[in-house]
């Protein structure tokens, strides 16, 4: 394995703080920073969306008129883009932005357009064309989610004979296997089935949406990983495999799992300026000030003794909200508790929680829109953080909540199972409460266990302390990624030495 510093290029559809929709953007912010701290040379390539403020982020021109082939032989054979840059420093990676008026700057959102396949295939091929013109060459490209599966495909087929590109290794990270494009490939007709190996159609073709970019990323990458070890095993089953379990079994030798981490400098209750009162493990009683502040924030009665249950998540079925819908009204009627929700998403859940807040104004507070400051206030003030997910690749929200002393109640799936250990009264161990079966009764049982233990102050404080003390830093995760990068580089060298004309390794 290599030991010298690596040159690493990340490619992703969203990167915080420039464009932040989901957990992907947070990983793209914190992981490159951690790798920089470890002494590696890191750059990130992303679209320049219209909402990105060039002056605020000191973004400058870098390449004018980057020509990106469309794959067409007639008509529009190329798309002209620009590349802009925000220079990095000792602690921050350099960020390159692919600029195009039609596909990025005129769009109000990051996702949810019918031509998303074209937009992200353009990003993928743009990253490769950028490297063709750049003096800087990475040892490895770290591509992320279906948006960059096209990159793996292009690199190992269209550009396979490019001398300066063919030795570059490729790691492909699956952040959520359920998201494979703008169509559900599990229900495609046999006539539209994509085996993942056929030639990609041109960028502007309507048929591009029928190519499964995530599948192609899996096939063409040197190494594939998911954002937790448990999830890397779960996706080999039909229950979690989202129609790709057979393919993943075929390539399982190159599939790994690395748990998402947390930047302990940024997420630090001892120094965080977003929360009312800073605290540490040694000054844990001061945390109650944040609980009172949270109650005020959501217009709930001030009561330091009443347990606050909270959720901060996307409002979707994946997050286990159906279980919450079925159990929470009963809990509110029968138990003295408060419930706080922060999130955006599906209307059916928005309507339910809006109605619930009306029915229980003294117990329920909601904020059903995006807000980047409120999560930390919730983590620092809530007693219990709920995430009864149907499936959960990483579970970064739970890691953040635990850092601030919110005790998790989770279902044993994906990253949640890797992070949370179930409380055992007899041994007085565990940093949260875990249930296995995806059912309202199992979830209800876990909540009731937690509420009963909450009444035992000394025992509860022990659980809080263990949750806060868990070592889930990005530095730990970054070192594991370095191991995967070196594996990918070794695999690529082996592939080229065995057969220089071979396009990719399966």
- 363: which residues sit within 8 A by CB, 6+ positions away? 300, 332, 337, 338, 339
What architecture is the 284-469 domain classified under in CATH? Answer: 3-Layer(aba) Sandwich (3.40)
Given this model, what pLDDT does residue 375 score?
95
Q: What pLDDT was estimated at residue 58?
A: 97
Q: What is the pLDDT of residue 500?
A: 61
Rounded alpha-carbon distances, angstroms, from residue 310 to 77, 340, 381, 420, 505: 52, 5, 9, 17, 45
How far is 501 from 11, CA to CA, in rounded Å? Answer: 26
The encoded tokens of residue 1 equal 């394995």
- Which tokens go with 198? 């056929």
Spell out the per-residue pLDDT of the chain, length 506, in tens.
446 899 999 999 999 999 988 789 989 999 999 999 999 999 999 999 999 999 999 999 999 999 999 999 888 999 999 999 999 998 899 999 999 999 999 988 899 899 999 999 999 999 999 999 999 999 999 999 999 999 999 999 999 999 999 999 999 999 999 999 998 898 888 888 889 999 999 999 999 999 999 999 999 999 999 999 999 999 999 999 999 999 999 999 999 999 999 988 889 999 999 999 999 999 999 999 999 999 999 999 999 999 999 999 989 999 999 999 999 999 999 999 999 999 999 999 999 999 999 999 999 999 999 888 899 999 999 999 999 999 999 888 999 999 999 999 999 999 999 999 999 999 999 999 999 999 999 999 999 999 999 999 999 999 999 999 998 899 999 999 999 999 999 999 999 988 765 555 44
The pLDDT of residue 412: 97
The answer to whether the beta carbons of residues 286 and 279 sit under 8 Å apart is yes
As assigned by CATH, the class of the 7-261+474-498 domain is alpha beta
CA distances in angstroms from 495 to 132, 220, 490, listed in the order given = 22, 12, 9
Q: What percent of the chain has pLDDT over 90?
A: 88
Q: What's the pLDDT at 3?
A: 61
94-99: strand order across its sheet: 60-69, 78-86, 94-99, 41-47, 7-11, 140-144, 169-174, 223-226, 255-257
Q: List, by residue range, all CATH 3.40.50.2000 domains of the chain.
A: 7-261+474-498, 284-469
Nearest alpha-carbon partner for 352 in 395, 316, 391: 316
Three-state secondary-structure class, residue 309: strand
Regarding pTM above 0.85, the answer is yes
Nearest to 125 by CA among 106, 103, 92: 103
pLDDT at 192: 85
């Amino acid at each position: 394995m290599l030991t010298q510093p690596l040159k690493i290029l990340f490619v992703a559809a969203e990167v915080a703080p420039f464009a932040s929709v989901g957990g992907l953007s947070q990983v793209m912010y914190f992981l490159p920073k951690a790798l920089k701290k470890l002494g590696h040379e890191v750059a990130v390539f992303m679209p320049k969306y219209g909402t990105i403020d060039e002056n605020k982020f000191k973004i400058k021109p870098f390449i004018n008129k980057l020509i990106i082939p469309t794959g067409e032989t007639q008509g529009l054979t190329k798309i002209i883009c620009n590349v802009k840059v925000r220079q990095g420093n000792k602690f921050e990676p350099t960020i390159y932005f692919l600029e195009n008026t039609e596909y990025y700057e005129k769009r109000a959102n990051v996702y949810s357009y019918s031509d998303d396949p074209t937009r992200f295939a353009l990003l993928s091929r743009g990253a490769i064309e950028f490297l063709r013109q750049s003096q800087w060459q990475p040892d490895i490209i770290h591509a992320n989610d279906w948006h960059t599966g096209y990159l793996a495909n292009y690199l190992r087929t269209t550009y396979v004979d490019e001398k300066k590109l063919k030795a570059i290794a490729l790691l492909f990270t699956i952040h959520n296997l359920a998201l494979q494009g703008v169509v559900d490939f599990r229900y495609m007709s046999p006539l539209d089935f994509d085996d993942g190996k056929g030639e990609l159609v041109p960028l502007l073709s309507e048929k591009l949406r029928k190519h499964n970019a995530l599948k192609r990323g899996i096939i063409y990458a040197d190494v594939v990983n998911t954002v937790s070890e448990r999830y890397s095993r779960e996706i080999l089953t039909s229950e979690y495999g989202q129609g790709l379990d057979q393919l993943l079994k075929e390539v399982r030798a190159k599939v790994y799992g690395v748990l998402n981490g947390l930047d302990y400098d940024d997420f630090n209750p001892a120094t965080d300026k977003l929360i009312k009162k800073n605290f540490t493990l040694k000054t844990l009683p001061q945390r109650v000030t944040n609980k009172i502040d949270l109650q005020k924030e959501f217009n709930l009665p001030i009561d330091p003794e009443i347990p606050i249950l909270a959720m901060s998540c996307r409002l979707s079925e994946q997050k286990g909200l159906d279980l919450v819908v079925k159990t929470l009204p009963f809990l509110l009627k029968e138990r003295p508790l408060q419930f706080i929700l922060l999130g955006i998403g599906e209307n059916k859940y928005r309507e339910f929680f809006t109605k619930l807040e009306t029915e229980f104004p003294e117990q329920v507070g909601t904020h059903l829109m995006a807000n980047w400051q409120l999560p930390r206030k919730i983590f620092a003030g809530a007693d219990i953080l709920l995430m009864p997910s149907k499936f959960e690749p990483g579970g970064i929200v739970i890691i953040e909540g635990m850092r601030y002393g919110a005790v998790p109640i989770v279902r044993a799936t994906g990253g949640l199972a890797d992070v949370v250990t179930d409380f055992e009264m007899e041994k007085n161990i565990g940093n949260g409460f875990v249930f296995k079966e995806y059912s309202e009764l199992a979830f209800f049982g876990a909540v009731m266990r937690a509420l009963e233990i909450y009444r035992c102050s000394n025992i509860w404080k022990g659980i809080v302390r263990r949750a806060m003390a868990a070592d889930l830093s990005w530095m730990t995760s970054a070192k594991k990624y370095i191991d995967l990068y070196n594996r990918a580089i070794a695999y690529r060298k082996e592939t080229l030495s065995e057969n220089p004309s071979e396009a990719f390794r399966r």
